[in-house]
Amino acid sequence: MNILRNILGFFSHVFRSITNGITQFFAFISKQITALVLSLKKPMATSINSIRGFIISLLVGLFVAIVAIGVQPFGISEFASESKTLYLIGFGLVAFIGMLIAKFVLPAILSSFYNDQQWTISRQIIHLSATILITGSLIMIYSNAFKITSFEFLDILKAVVVSIIPITIITFIQQKLFHAKFSTTAEDINNSLDSLNPPTSKHLFPVLVFGESGQKLSLVPNQLIYAETSKDSTDFYWQSLLGVEKTTIQTPLAKVEKELAAHPQFVRLHRNFVINLRGIHKVEGNARGYRLRIARTAHEIPVSWKFHKKLEKIGQ
């Protein structure tokens, strides 16, 4: 009986060990999957709908044309024609068009997905994969139409699948680099905010006047915190005796900027916002870029990429 009890005890111990090992293994896998999902939700920069996106598209098209002419891969070298060089340059033009579709047309169609203020690592990976699919498909259609070399759609799908791993690795590296750059620079700007002394108006008794006679807003420059414009109207956020108030005036951005031109404490750091430098409470930076926390409010204002240098100079 003792031998039987020992054998049963031994197998019971082995079973518990195996069970605990399996449990720990799946707990580890679950933890890693959770960490990966959270990482994929991290903010990320994007070049959609921007001059950077156009330049990147142009460079990709130029690169494809150079490779097509210089290397002639995928059997292109066997293609014979008196206008061969022009046909090969066509690969670059087609790639350029495919990039423009991915950078500008897709964001117009899928505007909710391509919200640059909600752009993440996962969206970047999906976008880059879609870019390869679109550009590759157009190159396939072009090549097959002119019988330069033969491609099948399955070849394009294989290229997309193979590219997912390098795309993911490169995207994570870019995210870390962007985050390090913008978060560090944001801290430097914040350190100089307290000592920031933006130039004021040269007028003795400056007054800002927005709107027409029927709908007018008059403020002292230091009252205006920031202005947010849409197509034909502008929301003015200003300081009153009772707190921060919002007034909407039917006036376009051009007229707002003209009224503020003589007051250098106001700067434009986004296509839709003009901000009083004295109203910036804090600058935050992550891989998506910079955001401004506005004093005396819970409002946050994004800084467009083309205005990054202007903001960084303000903090110097």
Output phi, psi for 182, to 5 deg: -75, -35
pLDDT tens digits for range 25-81: 788 888 888 887 888 899 998 888 888 899 999 999 999 999 999 999 988 988 888
Q: Are the beta carbons of 252 and 229 closer than 8 angstroms?
A: yes
The pLDDT of residue 8 is above 80: no
* Cβ-Cβ contacts under 8 Å for 154 (sequence gap 6 or more): none
> Which residues have a Cβ under 8 Å from the Cβ of 85 and sit 6 or more positions away?
69
Radius of gyration, alpha carbons of the chain: 29
Task: Give rounded-to-5 percent helix, strand, coil for the chain.
Answer: 55, 20, 25
Give me the sign of the Cα torsion angle 114, 120, 123, 125: positive
Helices (H), 41-50: none
- Report residue 201's pLDDT band, with 50, 70 and 90 as the boundaries: low
Residue 2 has pLDDT above 80, yes or no: no
In tens, the pLDDT along 301-311 reads: 999 888 898 88
What SS3 state is found at 151? coil
Q: At what angle do helices 153-193 and 121-145 cross, to 10 degrees?
A: 140
Q: Residue 240's pLDDT is what? A: 87
Cβ-based neighbour number of residue 98 at 10 Å: 24
- Is the predicted pLDDT of residue 204 greater than 70, yes or no? no
The CATH number of 192-314 is 2.40.50.1020
What tens digit of pLDDT does each residue of 16-38 get? 778 888 888 788 888 888 887 88
Percent of the chain scored above 90 by pLDDT? 41
Model confidence at 10, in pLDDT bands (50, 70, 90)? low
> Residue type for 284, please?
E
Q: Bigger pLDDT: 307 or 314?
A: 307
Domain edges within the chain: 51-151, 192-314
